[in-house]
Amino acid sequence: MTVLLAAVLLLVAAAGTAVVLVRDPVNQAIMASFFGLLLGLAFLVLQAPDVALSQITVGAVALPLMILLALAKVRRSRR
């Protein structure tokens, strides 16, 4: 249990760092989605399935989607 939690937390930390290090906004949105999924996994390991579900739906789906759509709009209006 502790090993599993430590592994998941390390993955979350790595993914969070990767979100910051990736500089292209589109890649960043995809990375943020991956980070959201891992964070959901961490909540699941911590036995909070309700929070995990919310985290996955919002952090891995809704938020990156809004970022991608906003980016698409910005790119289109620049053209």
Partner 1 sequence: MTPVIRRRAFVPAAAVVGGLLVWGATGLPPVGVYRGPYGLVLNQVAVAERHATNVVAAVTFDYRGIDTMGEEFILFAAVIGVAILLRAMRGEAEHEPQEAVRGRRVPGTSNAVRVVGLALLGPIVLFGIYVVAHGHLTPGGGFQGGVVLATGALLVYLSGEYVTLRRVQPEHSIDLGEALGAGGYVVVGLFGLVAGGAFLANALPLGTAGTLLSAGTIPVINLAVGLEVAAGFTLLLSEFLEQTLVLGPGRSGR
Residues that bind partner 1 (CB under 8 A): 2, 5, 49-50, 52-54, 57-58, 61-62, 65-66, 69-70, 72-73, 76-77
- Using CA atoms, how far apart are residues 22 and 25, in angstroms rounded to an integer? 8
Considering the complex, what minimum distance in angstroms separates the CB of residue 72 from partner 1?
5
Considering the complex, what minimum distance in angstroms separates the CB of residue 69 from partner 1?
4
**Of residues 14 and 61, the one with the C-beta less far from partner 1:** 61
User: Is the distance from CB of 32 to CB of 64 less than 8 angstroms?
Assistant: yes
- Using CA atoms, how far apart are residues 76 and 50, in angstroms rounded to an integer? 38
**Of residues 27 and 49, the one with the C-beta less far from partner 1:** 49
User: Is the distance from CB of 3 to CB of 23 less than 8 angstroms?
Assistant: no
